[in-house]
Structure formats: C-alpha cells, structure tokens
Amino acid sequence: MRYFFAVTLIVGFSLQQFGCATAVTGTARDHTGSGLALYNTGDLKGAITEYRAALSLDPNYVDAHYNLGVALDDTGDRDAACTEYRAALSLDPNHVNAHYDLGVALTKNGDPAEAVIEFRTVLRLDPDHANARYNLGSALAQNGDREGAITEFRTVLRLNPNNVFAHTNLGVALEKSGNLEEAITEFRTALSLDPSHVNAHIGLGSALAKKGDILSARKELEEALVLLPDTPENQQTIRSIISLLGRL
C-alpha cells in the first residue's frame, strides 16, 4: 500500500510573455499536490515533473522527495527512487513509509541486507506494521537467514492466520531448512486458502519430490503449469517447473 503526504491544491502555471520557457510558479506544496493528482490519474511523467518543480522551489520538502521516490519506483527506476527515499529520510528520519518503501525497493534491487535494516526500523517505529513484518521475513530469507525468516513468518501468521503468502514463504524457508513435513503442511494450508496459488503448488511439489512422493509431486507441478499464465515474465519459472518434472 502506498501512502502520500500532500494536499491536492490546484497548481498555477504561466507562460512567460515573451518566449517558450515555462515559469515555475506557485509553492512547493502546490506542485506536490498537483503531482499527486497527476499520479492518481496514472500520469507518472507529469507527476515526476511536478515533484521536481516542488523541489526546485524547496529542496528540503520531505513530501516531495517521498512522493517523487514513489513515482520513480513505479517507473522501474529504483536507484533514483532509493535516492529520493533517502533524501526524505535525511530530513525526517522517522518517516515510516519512506523506510518501508526503501526496504521494498532495496529487496527488488537485490540488496536484502540493507532492506532488513529498513524493515526493522519500520517495526521499531510502528510495531504493528504487518507488511513490514512480512517483508522483513522475505528479506531475511533472501539474505540467507532462514531461521530469522521462519520466526518472522510465524509472527505474521499469529497475527493473520489466513495470510496465504506467509504460509507459502514459511513453507519455502522450512523446506530449505530440511523440515519437509512442516513445509508440506504450510503449502497445503496455503492451498486450502487459495487453491490457485501457483507458488504453493510449486513448493508443495518440490517438497513432496524430496520426500519421495513422486506421483503427488508431479500432480502439484503439473497443476502449477496449468495455472501459470504463459507470459514472457513467467518463462523462467515455467522452464524451472518443466526441468523439475523432467528429473522426476
């Protein structure tokens, strides 16, 4: 979930009377509000332009840095997004949402160790931040701390027993730790909540194969192939499933 800190005021532009340049008028708050309005219509480019206009007027405007980071993040420019989140945090070290979104961006950028720091900071500031707890577990798992990940996912499930993603990721962490029986239980719980959860089918198939239940493993992996859309983004996963089936 995204959080924005801006007012939705109308921003005023004026063309210079002589020439084609556009004068930046209004306040940083005006431009940030206009940027948010554009963002909410899906105009990321326009939103980014407005947030940058705000920062040209007030380089220390926290909300403009944070919202610019969000918009850049949504364009896929995570490095630039991280720069803006950090700029916001340099001005407001207790900005929970900047810490959270920075953690998410760092995880996607392949820097789980730094992401762990950000998610732990979020939980220090807001102990009830469920998404930070879940993402901390994911970042710990990516960073090789399986026991830490297992602890966090179990905490998430104590708070929300119906979290399909936490059951699935807990299953993955348990499987990698060699605890196949508990892993299988978690994958099956996930599928009882969402029978179409592809990753739970894949995880269950993998765990069953390791346990030696080849027929059941094939069934789960074949079901995953049926459920997984044949898109360019999914080709690597599809190849991995087919490769695993070929080894059974």
Q: Pull the structure tokens for residue 145.
A: 């701390």
Does this chain's domain 1-75 share its CATH topology with 162-248?
yes
Domain boundaries, the chain: 1-75, 162-248
Q: How many CB atoms lie within 10 A of CB 158?
A: 9
CATH of 1-75 given 3.40.50.300, 1.25.40.10, 3.20.10.10, 1.10.10.370: 1.25.40.10
Taking the chain (248 residues) in runs of 10, the rounded mean pLDDT of each run is 38 31 74 96 97 97 97 96 98 98 96 97 96 97 95 95 97 96 98 97 96 95 93 90 89
- Burial code of 44-65, b = ≥16 C-beta within 10 A, e = fewer? bebbbbbbebbbebeeebbbbb
pLDDT of residue 2: 53
Residues 6+ apart with CB under 8 A from 19: none
pLDDT of residue 23: 52
Q: Pull the structure tokens for residue 211.
A: 């346990």
Q: Pull the structure tokens for residue 164.
A: 């399909």
Residues 6+ apart with CB under 8 A from 33: 6, 7, 8, 9, 10, 11
Superfamily of domain 162-248: Tetratricopeptide repeat domain (1.25.40.10)
Burial class (CB in 10 A: 0-12, 13-18, 19+), 81: buried
